Copies of this chain bind each other. A is one copy, B any other.
Amino acid sequence: MQEIKNNLFLKALRGEEVSRPPVWMMRQAGRYLPDYIKLREKYDFFTRVETPELACEITLQPVDQVGVDAAIIFSDILVIPQAMGMTVLLEEGRGPVLPEVIKNKADIDALITGETEDRLDYVMKALALTKRELNGRVPLIGFAGAPWTLLCYMVEGKGSKTFDKAKQFCFTQPELAHQLLQKITDVTIKYLKAQVRAGADTVQVFDSWSGMLSPSDFNIFAAPYLTQIADAVSEDAPVILFPKGSWYALAQLSKGSASGLGLDWTVTPALAREMTGNNITLQGNFDPSKLLAPIPQIKKEVKEMIDAFGVNRYIANLGHGILPNVPVDHARAFVDAVKEYV
């Protein structure tokens, strides 16, 4: 196995001492980068996702151009519903649409749970190619959507401010909801293990909509499946869980088998450390909108953030994906501020 030259990220995840925190940004391979926009003008979304050479090129852009300490494979959480047989439409600049949603037991029974690795072979090829191209410069992160978040899209059929169709499904037909969540979980575990075999050094599970759930419903519809995934995949590689908005679950999740927990920007570093008892590596949590502030202010607030989290068991990141309208030099200022931290 190839040695990774800049292994700050993996050291931080393992809880080893580091000279400074590693830094990357969620959605770092994305629309704020002019070179990404050029590719977007030539190839539609799923062509970019499904063509290993394009996914690799896009994944490397922020490593080369912004100087992040980790690459995250360019892909989408909705490749899992696709691999399970659902149609996913994605128009540029609009959210995803799944025209045939899950409504009943027959729909769940019809979902495909086999051949996950074959069906998502393009992701494995993209990971393998990217790993080779990275040539050990920085670690490579794989990812998947969490079962609750995928259920949201598979039942609601599109993005939503409240996901009340998805929640209604869960509240009125909990047995079916659990069947669906378990199927997604089984497929996701196979998918993430395959990603590690293909070259991912770690994986992150995005529960983008877990904060829609009350703490008790989180414990019913989200936590058990996050835990299954973390338990199974952490046998192979460190796992980072990002339950966005579910600050209330930090204490509980810190006691499980995940190596890292992602935080959104509504949690203070002090409270996050207190809730997690310094048992786990924390990742986050700069307000993505704050990258629109003047550069000196970005640098000042990044320093304050690291002061508050501490250098160890910490991965600097945003609290959610980078916004499309962030100037590249502001993104670079964020990364530089972490690298300059003393």
Q: Known: A164-B325, A245-B266, A271-B248. Contact between A290 and B171, CB under 8 A?
A: yes
Q: Which of A214-236 contact B (CB under 8 A)?
A: 214-217
Q: Which residue of B lies closest to A265 (CB)?
A: B214
In the complex, what residues of B have CB within 8 A of residue A247's CB? 247, 266
In the complex, what residues of B have CB within 8 A of residue A167's CB? 287, 289-290, 292
Cα–Cα, bound, A30→B305 (Å): 43
Chain B min CB distance to A235 (Å): 32
Chain B min CB distance to A9 (Å): 24
Chain B min CB distance to A316 (Å): 15
Chain B min CB distance to A302 (Å): 13
**With an 8 A cutoff between CB atoms, is A323 at the interface?**
yes
**With an 8 A cutoff between CB atoms, is A135 at the interface?**
no
**With an 8 A cutoff between CB atoms, is A104 at the interface?**
no
Query: A215 touching B268 by the CB < 8 A rule?
Result: yes
Query: A172 touching B217 by the CB < 8 A rule?
Result: no
Chain B min CB distance to A117 (Å): 34
Cα–Cα, bound, A243→B169 (Å): 29
Chain B min CB distance to A129 (Å): 33
Q: Known: A162-B289, A211-B266, A266-B214. Contact between A297 and B171, CB under 8 A?
A: yes
Q: Which of A164, A248, A268 has the most CB of B within 10 A?
A: A164
Per-residue interface assignment for chain A, residues 160 to 198, with 1 indicating a CB less than 8 Å from any chain B CB and 0 otherwise: 001110011001100000000000000000000000000
Q: Which of A288, A289, A292 has the most CB of B within 10 A?
A: A289
Query: B289 touching A168 by the CB < 8 A rule?
Result: yes
Contacts from A to B (Cβ < 8 Å): 162-164, 167-168, 171-172, 211, 213-217, 245-248, 265-268, 271, 287-290, 292-294, 297, 319, 323, 325
Query: Which 10 A-B pairs give the minimum distances between C-beta atoms?
Result: A171-B293, A167-B289, A168-B292, A164-B289, A214-B265, A214-B287, A215-B268, A164-B323, A171-B292, A172-B293
